């Protein structure tokens, strides 16, 4: 009995794999008429030909840039971008030029009115993204598939424009990165404009992508760019917090965002709530040890030591201590 089940499972598995591979061979939404039979035989853009190899072999379905330019002027904008740098062997210019992205164009040239060519803007997000992923699928883009943005049907062209970018740095559809993100993440962008968003985001020295990779993250949550946790991301810049501490404060190792809002807040040091409430979310106020000044009234706001920085007047090393008697983070 169990053998049969295994066999059935194996068959399903093989069927699934076959279905998947066929899917991979034709990932892009080209209709049967566009998919000139020769396309399968010619190298994909991912394996570009050496620079200058633009004159396509006859019968490949590719017509070459020169023919496109007889009717279209898109080269003007492309010239200023990395896509048109023939000296880069990975660029479209070094491969099939216009046709690296739009697909073989001979059929379209023979019959322009019936448009037998990829209109990238009108393709579904996953289809149009495949065009770009044929070259941009490694390094910082390796985690695109499965990322929050991919799952919610964004495409590369949601944020980038190949022909008419508003910002030539990274070819964005808006004049700068924050404006791109603000279209959908108003809350986070607004926070960076609050009173205490100390990170120089507003000044343009830091941006959303200092912490996030909009193309997804392999190892971290929330598209965070580096590390395996929020704390590791923060410590990549705030290195003084990284050292192993003799006396660690549990929430600090766990998640900096328990106390700080990385995007900004109205409290000092971007704290999520004011002191002393910040600490009192976890530490019971009435149980504070008595001191010679205040008896046990310290945390009920009757103490004259609870001014300004409040609890951290005394517990000044809340992030942990290396002092032999620093167990209360006071030194
Ligand atoms: C004989 C003139 C001619 C040539 C040569 C030509 N096209 Fe076109 N192309 C057209 C016409 C006409 C349209 C339809 C324009 C419209 O509907 O606004 C078009 C439309 C397109 C579109 C869709 C535009 C859109 O609105 O989304 C793309 C992409 C395109 N061409 C790419 C190419 C590429 C790449 C080449 C070279 C392989 C090429 N064309 C060669 C005439 C030409
Ligand atoms: C790197 C990929 C890529 C290359 C190379 C490329 N295109 Fe495009 N093309 C796109 C994308 C993506 C769009 C959708 C609009 C955008 O992102 O600007 C587009 C849109 C178009 C359009 C529609 C009108 C418009 O501007 O929106 C035409 C026409 C066109 N391309 C022609 C060309 C021609 C001609 C060439 C070669 C000179 C070329 N493309 C090279 C990706 C590319
Ligand atoms: C034939 C390969 C190829 C294709 C297809 C391709 N690109 Fe590129 N792209 C490159 C190369 C090469 C560069 C130069 C940077 C590099 O070497 O990674 C580049 C650079 C870029 C840049 C960075 C520009 C900058 O100034 O920093 C963006 C953004 C970009 N591509 C977006 C796209 C999008 C969106 C698509 C799909 C519509 C696309 N690319 C399709 C090869 C390609
Ligand atoms: C949510 C917006 C967004 C989406 C979607 C997006 N990008 Fe980007 N991309 C950016 C921003 C912002 C930058 C500049 C900051 C950075 O490098 O992370 C950038 C940088 C780039 C660069 C240049 C820097 C580098 O990492 O090489 C390339 C190439 C690129 N994107 C390609 C793509 C491709 C291909 C896709 C689709 C798979 C895509 N992008 C989807 C926002 C986006
Ligand atoms: C067109 C809308 C749109 C744009 C533009 C956009 N995002 Fe997003 N983003 C989304 C959506 C939708 C989600 C929701 C993912 C979910 O909750 O499933 C998301 C999720 C995220 C997340 C959380 C990821 C996670 O795993 O929970 C981060 C971080 C993020 N975006 C950063 C950015 C940055 C940085 C930019 C600008 C470069 C940007 N986004 C631009 C729509 C957008
Ligand atoms: C200093 C680093 C940093 C910067 C700069 C930053 N973020 Fe974040 N972001 C984070 C961290 C850390 C989280 C996860 C917070 C958490 O888990 O509570 C996050 C979470 C998010 C989320 C997911 C929210 C959710 O509830 O799931 C979005 C969306 C987001 N950020 C967008 C942005 C945008 C847009 C910008 C630029 C205006 C930006 N971030 C700048 C560190 C940063
Ligand atoms: C238990 C709450 C808490 C956690 C968790 C926490 N912090 Fe803090 N942090 C504070 C408080 C309170 C201050 C203000 C200290 C002061 O005013 O002297 C502060 C201040 C800071 C400062 C300002 C400079 C300084 O040393 O006063 C930085 C930078 C900082 N924290 C980074 C981090 C990083 C990075 C993490 C995660 C590794 C983290 N914090 C986790 C409570 C916390
Ligand atoms: C890309 C580098 C970078 C990353 C990553 C980073 N920060 Fe910062 N952070 C800075 C810079 C730069 C400043 C400004 C330092 C200054 O003004 O001296 C700063 C300042 C701060 C401050 C002090 C604000 C004040 O009032 O003085 C706090 C708190 C802080 N960061 C917390 C965090 C937390 C929490 C994270 C992780 C979510 C984080 N940072 C990630 C670069 C970074
Ligand atoms: C998210 C919960 C949380 C927050 C917020 C928090 N702590 Fe803690 N704290 C802990 C935990 C858990 C311990 C470890 C308790 C243990 O080991 O018995 C601890 C330990 C301590 C200790 C040492 C106590 C001991 O018995 O060793 C001090 C002092 C302390 N915290 C002060 C603070 C101060 C000051 C703040 C506000 C800046 C704060 N804590 C915010 C969870 C928190
Ligand atoms: C006047 C200085 C002072 C202030 C202000 C202060 N503490 Fe303390 N705290 C101490 C001292 C001293 C001890 C250690 C007592 C001992 O040696 O047992 C201590 C111990 C603690 C402990 C460990 C308690 C235990 O049972 O071991 C915690 C938790 C704590 N403080 C949290 C706080 C919080 C939260 C605040 C702000 C609401 C705060 N403290 C404000 C001086 C202070």
10-residue block means of pLDDT along the chain (331 residues)? 49 46 36 36 40 50 88 89 90 91 90 84 92 93 92 95 92 93 92 71 79 93 93 92 87 93 89 89 78 63 67 90 88 83
Provide the pLDDT for residue 199.
Answer: 60
Which residues have CB under 8 Å from 186's CB, separation 6+?
none
Contact status, residue 259 vs residue 278, Cβ threshold 8 Å: yes
CB under 6 Å to ligand 7: residues? Answer: 231, 234-235, 238, 241, 251-252, 256, 258-260, 269, 271, 309, 312, 318-319
Class of residue 287 by CB neighbours under 10 A (exposed 0-12, middle 13-18, buried 19+): exposed
- Give CA–CA dist 62/27, Å, rounded: 19
Provide the pLDDT for residue 54.
Answer: 47
Q: b/e per residue, 216-244, with b = 16+ CB within 10 A?
A: bbeebeebbbebebbbebbbeeeeeeeee
User: Cα-flanking dihedrals φ and ψ of residue 36, to 5°?
Assistant: -55, 135
| Protein residue with least CA distance to atom 29, ligand 2 | 72
- SS3 for 291? strand
Which residues have CB under 8 Å from 85's CB, separation 6+?
91, 93
Contact status, residue 31 vs residue 107, Cβ threshold 8 Å: no
Q: Which of 44, 120, 173 to mutate to test the pocket of ligand 2 (most atoms within 8 A of CB)?
A: 120
Is 158 close to ligand 3, i.e. is its CB under 6 Å away?
no
CB under 6 Å to ligand 2: residues? Answer: 65, 68, 72, 74-75, 78, 83, 92, 97-98, 100-102, 120-121, 157, 161-164
- Give CA–CA dist 224/183, Å, rounded: 20
Give CA 66 to chain center in angstroms: 36
| Protein residue with least CA distance to atom 31, ligand 3 | 83
User: Cα-flanking dihedrals φ and ψ of residue 325, to 5°?
Assistant: -110, 45
Which residues have CB under 8 Å from 61's CB, separation 6+?
36, 38, 39, 42, 104, 105, 106, 107
Distance 164 CA to ligand 2 centre (A): 9
Provide the pLDDT for residue 40.
Answer: 36
For the CA of 63, the nearest atom of ligand 1 = 38
pTM over the 0.85 mark: yes
Contact status, residue 164 vs residue 77, Cβ threshold 8 Å: yes
Q: Which of 270, 278, 282 to mutate to test the pocket of ligand 9 (most atoms within 8 A of CB)?
A: 282
Distance 239 CA to ligand 4 centre (A): 27
């Amino acid at each position: 009995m169990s053998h049969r089940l295994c066999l059935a499972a194996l068959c399903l598995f093989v069927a699934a794999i076959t279905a998947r591979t066929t899917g991979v061979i034709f990932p892009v939404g080209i209709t049967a008429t566009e998919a000139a039979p020769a396309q399968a035989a010619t190298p994909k853009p991912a394996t570009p030909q050496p620079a200058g190899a633009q004159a396509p072999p006859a019968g490949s379905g590719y017509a070459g840039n020169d023919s496109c330019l007889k009717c279209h002027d898109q080269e003007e904008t492309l010239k200023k971008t990395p896509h048109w740098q023939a000296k880069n062997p990975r660029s479209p210019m070094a491969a099939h030029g216009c046709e690296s992205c739009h697909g073989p164009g001979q059929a379209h040239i023979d019959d322009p009115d019936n448009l037998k060519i990829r209109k990238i803007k009108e393709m579904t997000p996953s289809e149009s993204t495949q065009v770009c992923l044929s070259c941009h699928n490694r390094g910082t883009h390796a985690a695109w598939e499965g990322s929050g943005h991919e799952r919610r049907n964004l495409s590369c062209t949601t944020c980038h424009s190949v022909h008419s970018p508003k910002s030539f740095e990274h070819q964005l559809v808006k004049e700068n990165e924050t404006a791109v993100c603000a279209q959908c993440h108003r809350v986070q962008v607004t926070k960076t404009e609050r009173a205490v968003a100390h990170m120089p985001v507003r000044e343009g020295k830091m941006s959303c992508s200092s912490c996030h990779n909009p193309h997804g993250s392999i190892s971290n949550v929330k598209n965070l760019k580096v590390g395996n946790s929020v704390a590791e991301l923060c410590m990549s810049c705030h290195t003084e917090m990284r050292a192993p501490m003799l006396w660690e404060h549990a929430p600090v190792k766990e998640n900096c965002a328990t106390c700080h809002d990385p995007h900004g807040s109205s409290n000092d040091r971007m704290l999520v709530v004011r002191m002393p409430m910040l600490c009192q979310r976890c530490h019971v106020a009435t149980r504070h040890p008595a001191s010679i000044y205040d008896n046990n009234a310290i945390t009920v706001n009757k103490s004259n030591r609870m001014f300004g920085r409040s609890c951290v007047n005394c517990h000044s090393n809340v992030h942990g201590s290396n002092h032999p008697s620093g167990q209360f983070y006071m030194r």
